[in-house]
Amino acid sequence: MSIRHGLLALLDRGPRYGYQLRVEFEAATGGTWPLNIGQVYTTLARLERDGLVEPGGADEQGRAVYAITGAGREELERWFGTPVAPGDRPRDELVIKIAMAVAGGAVDVAEVIQAQRAATMRALQELTRTKRAATGGLAERLVIDSSIFKAEAEQRWLDHCEAVSKEKSS
Amino acid sequence: MTVVVRLAEVTREHGDVRALKGVNLEVAAGELVAVMGPSGSGKSTLLNLAGGLDRPTSGTVTVEGADLATVKDLAAFRRTSVGYVFQDLNLIPSLTAAENVMLPRELDGVRQGRARAEALAVLEEVGAAEVAGRFPEELSGGQRQRVAIARALAGERRLLLADEPTGALDTATGDAILQLLRARCDAGVAVLLVTHEPRYAAWADRVVYLRDGLIVESTSVRLESAR
């Protein structure tokens, strides 16, 4: 995604100024995606150039406010209506490491798997603690849940690697 | 911290099969420990030994200071000291939720009125007060599991053993069950949880992995309390 679609989604709720967009963006993503204020303004400038937002004057404290345009709403609708492609994930270092461990023969695959599994479980425990302590809304919880599901998938894959490599070697 | 259950050099053989080969494990009051491992690794054997459902071939199991080898009436010990939550819930279909929770207490000689008051209090605690008068078949999977947990907790038991308590529940309901176990734990109960699902194990303070009857790794997170 783009930050642009995130900002459009926030502006769809009503006109907002830059700092407010930053705070709301971070709150909605459970703090997993920090933005700096510079990114917010650059993105707003591009959205304005593309006709998706327009300046909405100033609020009572003189802050420059932006509003979504009709074209902006259409773009947002298109974005929500289009599934995300599995696409261009960077190559996964862990997958390469395990593949190399299996192919190489010089390292103990079981040890590599165990070390990783312990680390992933610790991460999963910490995510669960974050979730228990979370006081934000539904969006925050679901963002943390997403990280939990991903860590869990990695953990299951490691269990699978262990079981399969044990089968092959016995 | 008070140790509630301690396994020391515990082995268990079933005929020629060595299900556990020398396990050391302690669970303290207020601690949630999860046991993971592939099928056949000895997870359920470990849980059964910790709860006095089975006796070790060698080694000792101590619950609240009592060596289980010296406990003559294990059935009475199980009813009064240990709560069990299993995947197949074993609620009795002809009894209401409240009656299911009361049953083990009544078997222990607690009078009906007091058993009922206790049952209603503990059902309230687990968020199942509104279903107290319903029969198991009238409850959802999540509600049934809450009732089973209430039954395991009635009578101030300090040790709770849970074997795949999230069984076939969807993940949101499974999370709610773990939230509940965690809350009991934070109130001072020791919980030993067997699960094959990492997402639920992650609610624990400590996660131990069993493989071929031995503990091979252990991860703990002791951060500032998230309570």
Let me know whether A135 and A74 are in one domain: no
Q: Are B137 and B97 in contact (CB under 8 A)?
A: no
In a domain, residue A40? The reply is yes
Q: pLDDT at position B89, please?
A: 65
The mean pLDDT value for A120-146 works out to 89
Considering the domain architecture, whether residues A165 and A125 belong to the same structural domain is answered as yes
| Nearest neighbour of B226 by CB, restricted to A132, A151, A156 | A132
From A151, A159, A95, select the one nearest A123 (Cα to Cα): A151
Torsion of CA A115, A118, A119, A125, to 10 degrees: 180
For residue A157, is it within any domain?
yes
- Regarding whether A99 and A73 lie in a shared domain, the answer is no
pLDDT of residue A82: 75
What is the span of the domain harbouring residue A154?
93-169
Instruction: Find the CB nearest B221 among A129, A156, A163.
Output: A129
A2 pLDDT band, cuts 50/70/90, is confident
- Asked if the Cβ–Cβ distance from B202 to A148 is below 8 Å, we say yes
Beta-sheet pairing, B3-14 with B17-28: antiparallel
With contacts defined as CB-CB under 8 Å, which chain B residues touch A120?
Answer: 198
Whole-prediction pTM = 0.78
At B186-227, the pLDDT tens digits run 989 999 999 989 999 999 999 999 988 888 877 776 544 333
Residues A55-72: tens digit of each pLDDT = 988 888 888 999 999 999
Q: Quick count: other Cβ atoms within 10 Å of Cβ B64?
A: 16
Asked if residue A76 and residue A131 are part of one domain, the reply reads: no
Q: Which of A63, A81, A50, A53 is nearest to A19 (CA)?
A: A63
pLDDT of residue A106: 66
What is the nearest CA distance from B78 to chain A, expressed in angstroms?
A: 31
Q: Which residue of A has its CA nearest to B207?
A: A121
Size of interface A-B (CB pairs under 8 A): 53
Q: Do residue A13 and residue A69 come from a single domain?
A: yes
Give the number of other Cβ atoms within 10 Å of residue B31's Cβ.
22
With contact defined as beta carbons under 8 Å apart, do B200 and B35 qualify? no
What would the pLDDT profile of B114-171 be if each residue is shown by its tens digit?
A: 999 999 998 998 889 999 999 999 999 889 988 988 898 887 788 999 998 888 788 8
Instruction: Tell me if A86 is assigned to some domain.
Output: no
Among A131, A134, A132, A137, residue whose Cα is nearest residue A24? A137
DSSP single-letter state for residue B129: G
Do A75 and A10 belong together in one domain?
yes
- Is there a single domain that holds both residue A55 and residue A114? no
Please give the pLDDT value at position B200. Answer: 94
**Residues of B whose CB is below 8 A from A128:** 199, 202-203
- Domain containing residue A8: CATH number: 1.10.10.10
Number of domains in chain A: 2
Kindly identify which residue of chain B lies nearest to residue A110, measuring between CA atoms.
B216
Q: Answer yes or no: is A47 within a domain.
A: yes
Q: β-strands B32-36, B206-211: how paired?
A: parallel
In a domain, A146, yes or no: yes
Instruction: List the beta bridge partners of residue B209.
Output: B36, B217
Q: Which residue segments constitute the domains of chain B, with CATH numbers given?
A: 3-89+158-220 (3.40.50.300)
pLDDT in tens, B50-102: 999 889 999 999 999 889 999 888 888 887 888 888 776 678 999 999 999 99
Q: Which of A30, A59, A81 is the last residue of a domain?
A: A81
| Cβ of residue B216 closer than 8 Å to a chain A Cβ | yes
| Integer Cα distance of A43 and B80 in angstroms | 64
H/E/C letters for each residue in B37-88? CCCCCCHHHHHHHHCCCCCCCEEEEEECCEEHHHCCCHHHHHHHHEEEEECC
User: Does residue A20 sit in helix, strand or coil?
Assistant: helix
Interface mutation target, options B170, B221, B222, B224, chain A, most CBs of A under 10 Å: B221
Please indicate, yes or no, whether residues A64 and A111 belong to a single structural domain of this protein: no
A66 is a domain residue: yes
